[in-house]
Amino acid sequence: MSNILNIGKSALNAAQIGISTTGHNIANASTPGYTRQVIVQAASQAQNFGYGFVGQGTDITGINRVYNDTLAKQLLNTTSTSSASSAYYNSINEINGLLSDSNAGLSPVMTKFFSAVSAAAANPTDVATRQTVLSSANSLLNRFSAVNNRLDDIRQSLNTQVSASVNTINSYATQISQLNLVIDKAMSTTGNPPNDLMDQRDLLLTKLSEQVKTTVVKQSNGNYDVFIGNGMPLVVGDDTYPLYAQSSYTSPNRLEIAYGDKSTPKIIDSSTLAGGALGGILAFRNETLDTVQNQIGQLAITLATQFNEMQQNGYDLNGTAGVAMFNIPQPQTTSSTNNVDKSKLATATFVPGQSQQLTSSDYTLKYTGGQYNIIRNSDKVVTSSATLPVTVDGIEFNVNTTTPAEGDEYMIRPTQGAASKITLAFDDVEKLALAERVDSNGNVVAFKGAGDNTNGLRLAKLQDAASVRLLGSNANRSYAQAFALMVSAVGTKTNEMMVTSKADASALEGATSAMQSESGVNIDEEAANLLRYQQAYQAAGKMMQIASQLFDVLLQLGQ
């Protein structure tokens, strides 16, 4: 009788655990990251009675998660890829709207400015048309400044996003390492996996992959070692290796990612942190924002410089030699905070008459092996010289004192931010130099009178001159063409990222669906399981009732 009772008891226990597990699944059907659980059931060891082995009921050997490592890995990868392309697209779409807006863009004000110059050239003695030139010039500068300031706002917003993303990544890393510790302790103590804790850890990994590309290596003790980007350790067991948001060595207003020893973390190349929202915004900043802002600055400086040079080739309304119409800032230079000799500073100046050589690139001046190496950052072309000054791309590079220390370097930004720093040099309409002072052969000629418009016509023709140098192109372009090509490039990249982000989102949806179909809770299926276990429970109870009745019969026979 005890055998029948034990079998019934084991069946009753199995059904009860099945009901509890099924109920747990139903209760967590909408819980983010929850993985469906199933009981693992096996027949108890049968007993040999001579005539055969008689079963002894059932044992519950474990409660497992329905988890597929391959699908989980695919979900992490697609989450990272989708977050990166979405972050890139959202950022570049804002710039695309800014540049392509027919009202807020630069094309209308440039056209209006040169139309005013043409009108003044047609009537050089008219004060009103001269005033229109100055007003249009002021409007042009205001528009350049507005566009540049909006790009600065986007840049500052990216700094905020970088800082927030780094904090989020570090928070997830800490939580994962703590869960590693708890899960390891639970498994070593009980021998059974704590499924709900493992779900929490996997959910944190998914959230981490939204921020940065994430790779997981599972250890034999159940711990996860987590690597980010191109393989940097973030979590190893219960140890974490956090990231830091740190100002660039050569640009205090630019946040970069640092990694390593807490007391002296080193800035790493942003390309090593591909994937996720962090990788997406870093790629956008490096590939698009820097390029566009530099090109806007190049366009503004080139236009202002060439107009100044032509203005200085003429006579003003009073027969006085023309003066510069625009105040133009010189290139920005910053010393690396890692420099040995911080007293030495780099200098950079625009070379007169070489504005057509100006590019949209930043430059690095580095002293190594007894040589000054001027690196054009956009394409890594290097110009080396044993001495300074040296002229590259219309810019004269120098260092303010004696030889720098080995390895010292400086960042030179000729055009970034320049669009908002150019100002009008005068507001006197009579100083507009429309009369010829220097002829086409470079000879100085006498003042021909206030009605002479020769230089005014030359100023107007600057609109269509091939004045702006484009890297990667064999020919210079006009101001309008250069701006149009920039807008076109941004538009093309925006469209590319829109298509990519949609495709990546679709891939993520597919990976999520595949994971859910395997590991997610199906309410209908769980309801069927609940009914099955209920029936098993009732049957087991009936078995124990019968065993009890049989036991009563034996007792009655013994009386």
> Per-residue confidence at 547, pLDDT binned at 50, 70, 90?
confident
pLDDT at 1 over 70: no
Contact 123, 129 (CB under 8 A): yes
Residue 227 CA to residue 205 CA, distance in Å, equals 11
> Per-residue confidence at 5, pLDDT binned at 50, 70, 90?
confident
Q: Which of 271, 248, 245, 70 lies closest to 165 in space, CA to CA?
A: 245
Rg (CA), the chain: 37
Give strand ranges (E) for 324-445.
326-327, 332-335, 346-350, 363-368, 371-376, 381-385, 390-392, 395-399, 409-413, 423-424, 435-436
Q: How far is CA 7 from the centre of its chain?
A: 62
> Per-residue confidence at 461, pLDDT binned at 50, 70, 90?
very high
pLDDT value of residue 2:
59
Q: Give the range among 129-143, 423-437, 446-460, 466-480 with minimum mean pLDDT.
A: 466-480
* Opening angle at CA 322, ends 319 and 325, nearest 5: 140
Burial of 386-417, coded b for 16+ CB within 10 Å and e otherwise, reads eebebebbbbbbbbeeeebeeebbbbbbbbbb
> How deeply is 507 buried, as exposed, middle or buried, from its count of CB atoms within 10 A (0-12, 13-18, 19+)?
middle
Could you tell me what percent of the chain has a pLDDT over 70? Answer: 99
Q: What is the mean pLDDT of residues 190-207?
A: 95
Residue-wise pLDDT for 477-486, tens only, equals: 999 999 999 9
Type of residue found at 476? N
Contact 421, 329 (CB under 8 A): yes
> Per-residue confidence at 279, pLDDT binned at 50, 70, 90?
very high
Q: Give the range among 73-77, 134-138, 177-181, 339-343 with minimum mean pLDDT.
A: 339-343
Residue 181 CA to residue 163 CA, distance in Å, equals 28
State which H helix or E strand residue 59 sits in: strand 58-65
Give strand ranges (E) for 193-331.
214-218, 224-228, 232-236, 239-240, 243-247, 255-259, 266-267, 314-315, 326-327
Global confidence as pTM = 0.92
Contact 215, 228 (CB under 8 A): yes
List Cβ neighbours of 8 (8 Å cut-off, separation of 6 or more): 57, 540, 541, 543, 544, 547
pLDDT at 13 over 70: yes
Q: Average pLDDT, whole number, for the chain?
A: 93
Q: Give the range among 286-295, 304-313, 536-545 with minimum mean pLDDT.
A: 536-545
List Cβ neighbours of 349 (8 Å cut-off, separation of 6 or more): 330, 331, 395, 396
Q: How far is CA 191 from CA 22, 61, 186, 196, 220, in A?
A: 22, 11, 7, 15, 13
* Opening angle at CA 383, ends 258 and 471, nearest 5: 80
Q: How far is CA 473 from CA 359, 470, 547, in A?
A: 11, 6, 94
Q: Give the range among 11-25, 290-304, 395-409, 436-450 with minimum mean pLDDT.
A: 395-409
Q: What is the mean pLDDT of residues 495-506?
A: 97
Q: What is the mean pLDDT of residues 281-293?
A: 97
Could you tell me what percent of the chain has a pLDDT over 90? Answer: 83
pLDDT value of residue 558:
65
Residue-wise pLDDT for 422-432, tens only, equals: 999 999 999 99
User: What sections of 101-126 are H helices per DSSP?
Assistant: 107-122
pLDDT at 63 over 80: yes
pLDDT value of residue 398:
95
Q: Give the range among 39-53, 512-526, 541-555 with minimum mean pLDDT.
A: 541-555
Residue 166 CA to residue 179 CA, distance in Å, equals 20
pLDDT at 378 over 60: yes
